Amino acid sequence: MMVHNQSNQKIKVGNSIIILLSIVGLIACIAVLFPQVRQMIMNLLEQMRGRKLNEYQSWFEVLASYAMGGICLILFFDYCTLIHSGRMLVQNVKQEIYDCLSEIDFHSFRKPVLLLAGVYLLGILTIVRANFLYNDDNEWAVFGSRSWYDWSRYVTVLLSYFLQPEIHLTDISPLPQLLAAVTLSCSSVLLVYILGEGKMTIVRLLASISLGLFPYMLEGLSYKFPTFYGALSILISILPFLFITRKKAFFFCSVVFLLIECMFNQSAVNIYMLIVIMLCFRDWNSRKKTQKEILYFLGTSAVAFCFALLFFKFFLMRPINEQESYYTSNAILPMAHLVSGILSNIKNYAIIINHDLGLIWKAGIVLILFFFIVQSMRRSAYGKIKSLFVSILVIGLSFCSSYGLYSLMATPLYEPRSLFGFGIFVAILCIIVVLDYKKVAIITVLALNWCFFIFAFSYGNALADQKRYIEFRRGILLHDLDILYSHRENNSEFLTFQFKNSIDFAPSIHNIAKNYPLIERLVPKQLTRTPSWEYLYFPDYMKMDYESGHLVNKGYLDFSSLNLPVVLDSYYHTIQSDGSHVLIIFKH
């Protein structure tokens, strides 16, 4: 009786503390909803940062969203800890999660993970060896800022402090790339485990290589700083399916992992729906589950997916507009143009993929699609004709899902790294096609993945060659500028520069592009007229006119229209200047 009374007393004290903290938290969150309080917080932030917040209105709105999200989380936490039904729900979910994990033999993952880690590490060898500061890597290397927060990637920022616990980021490559390769190997193994119903073979594992070495994925692996977090976002999107045998655990883990994924890299959430579609089709085609069970699973997945994304959008996401970002925004298509806009985005997505991929790649993917349809018809419990139409529908839905949330965007991103979902789509098809071990299908799948593996070497070597070529051209340019303008270094008047054209690709890249047009989108051009971080390496007295260079079409001055006199003409570039404006025209 004494022990029981002490236990009750501890529970009451704990509940009292929770209630007190909840009241304080609710008061703080409600207070932030008042504009005057947000104004005080804004002033405090400006004092801490020592400067005005350029995105003032964005911050002002975000604080209110954070407060509303905080209120929802506090109320949900109180329900789970103070209300009997909430506590029972938590106990049930915990038990289901424990049951799911206890049913998995994690020791069986060791050899597959090591095998694929070796494949991926070898695949990115030439990329690591190139030691190429890829696009935004220049900013992170020079300033060391963790700018992921601007894109609502809060978990990425937090994890970056664990990986690199310093005030400013520094270049610690190749560690992020090595961690990314190991993470991708875990993702491949889990994908094979889920699609293969727990059975893993060498053929199935090798069939999943396009998950990490598909050409679009190579751009993400080229970055030195964020590459590990991008790979981790793929793994997080797959993890919920480890709990698929328990309904409550699956729903809870789906919501939690999708929310975490949104705070990592929002573009990877499409992997979740890709897997859901394929699992639903597999269970329907084989009649392993009733249609009611399949619809319940699909509905549960869709509700978890929508709930996580809507919570993120309304309570956690920072709005980004075109004034803050020079290449995209997170604005959704207006309702009046939603359907037409989505169709247009998907059409452009397909056109770009068709342009980027080489003939051999496209032929291999078409064959895999053919094998997928034939295999579905042969295995179908509903008849060949019905399975034919449904499998084609599944391919179409999966293809659209592979583009993910970008299809909903008013300004979608078509950079190679944003299209990696297509590589996941191909990986899923490859795994499914080899499940029944038909020799022709296996040879096709392995041959296609071998092509991707070999291309990774070509791409890494192309980066290294382009790096040497850029350094050569940039060195000549800086030498010429130094001769022309070094006497103005101590002058208070800045020179304003614009570039026309850009440093061309190295000859070896033109050769690769004959077979693989994507290489010209993967290898970045430098010293273009659009904002680019390699300008950071120019002398301080050279002011790069980002705005007029990037926004000529919006009314800014284009130096080409000034008819500036030529002050230097060489084999590699022409320099025109009137003493204050400088136009550099690169020759190809």
Query: Model confidence over 324-341: pLDDT tens digits?
Result: 455 566 778 888 888 899
User: Residue 258: CB partners within 8 Å, gap ≥ 6?
Assistant: 237, 240, 269, 272, 304, 305, 308, 309
User: Residue 348: CB partners within 8 Å, gap ≥ 6?
Assistant: 412, 414
Rounded distance between C-alpha atoms, residue 244 and residue 253, angstroms: 10
Residues 104 and 148 in one domain: yes
Q: Mean pLDDT, to the nearest integer, of 89-98?
A: 93
Q: How confident is the model at residue 57 (pLDDT cuts 50, 70, 90)?
A: low
Residues 566 and 508 in one domain: yes
Is residue 23 assigned to a domain? yes
Residues 397 and 268 in one domain: yes
Residues 256 and 187 in one domain: yes
Q: Which residues make beta-bridge pairs with 387?
A: none
Last residue of a domain, one of 82, 116, 145: 82
Is residue 65 assigned to a domain? yes
Residues 298 and 404 in one domain: yes
Residues 423 and 521 in one domain: no
Q: How confident is the model at residue 475 (pLDDT cuts 50, 70, 90)?
A: confident
Q: Long-range contacts of range 523-529, CB-CB < 8 Å, 24 or more positions apart? A: 523/459, 523/462, 523/463, 523/466, 524/134, 524/135, 526/470, 526/474, 526/502, 527/473, 527/474, 527/477, 527/499, 527/502, 527/503, 527/584, 527/586, 528/499, 528/502, 529/498, 529/499, 529/500, 529/502
Is residue 55 assigned to a domain? yes
Residues 34 and 99 in one domain: no
pLDDT at 371 over 50: yes
Residues 74 and 193 in one domain: no
Query: Quick one: pLDDT at residue 549?
Result: 40
Q: How many domains does one find in the chain?
A: 3
List the single range of 64-68, 427-431, 472-476 with lowest mean pLDDT.
64-68
Is residue 344 assigned to a domain? yes
Is residue 445 assigned to a domain? no
Site of tokens 């890494």: 460
Last residue of a domain, one of 437, 471, 497: 437
Q: Mean pLDDT, to the nearest integer, of 281-294?
A: 91
Query: Quick one: pLDDT at residue 552?
Result: 39
Query: Quick one: pLDDT at residue 5?
Result: 61
Residues 233 and 349 in one domain: yes
Q: How confident is the model at residue 547 (pLDDT cuts 50, 70, 90)?
A: very low
Q: Which domain holds residue 13?
A: 2-82
pLDDT at 64 over 70: yes
Rounded distance between C-alpha atoms, residue 480 and residue 490, angstroms: 18
Residues 15 and 100 in one domain: no
Amino acid (one-letter) located at 300: T
Structure tokens at 485: 């303008």
Residues 231 and 192 in one domain: yes
Query: Quick one: pLDDT at residue 548?
Result: 40
Is residue 117 assigned to a domain? yes
pTM over 0.75: yes
* Position with higher pLDDT, 558 vs 153: 153
Is residue 175 assigned to a domain? yes
Rounded distance between C-alpha atoms, residue 140 and residue 143, angstroms: 5
Query: Quick one: pLDDT at residue 555?
Result: 43
CB 278 within 8 A of CB 432: yes
Which of 14-23, 79-88, 128-137, 295-304 has the highest average model confidence (pLDDT)?
295-304
Residues 179 and 292 in one domain: yes
Query: Could you tell me if residue 197 is left (phi over 0), alpha (psi between -120 and 50 degrees) or otherwise beta?
Result: left
Q: Mean pLDDT, to the nearest integer, of 534-553?
A: 48
Amino acid (one-letter) located at 24: V
Which helix (DSSP H) or strand (DSSP E) does residue 568 occupy? strand 566-569
CB 176 within 8 A of CB 227: yes
Is residue 90 assigned to a domain? no
Question: Average pLDDT over the chain, rounded to whole?
Answer: 85
pLDDT at 194 over 60: yes
Last residue of a domain, one of 51, 82, 113: 82
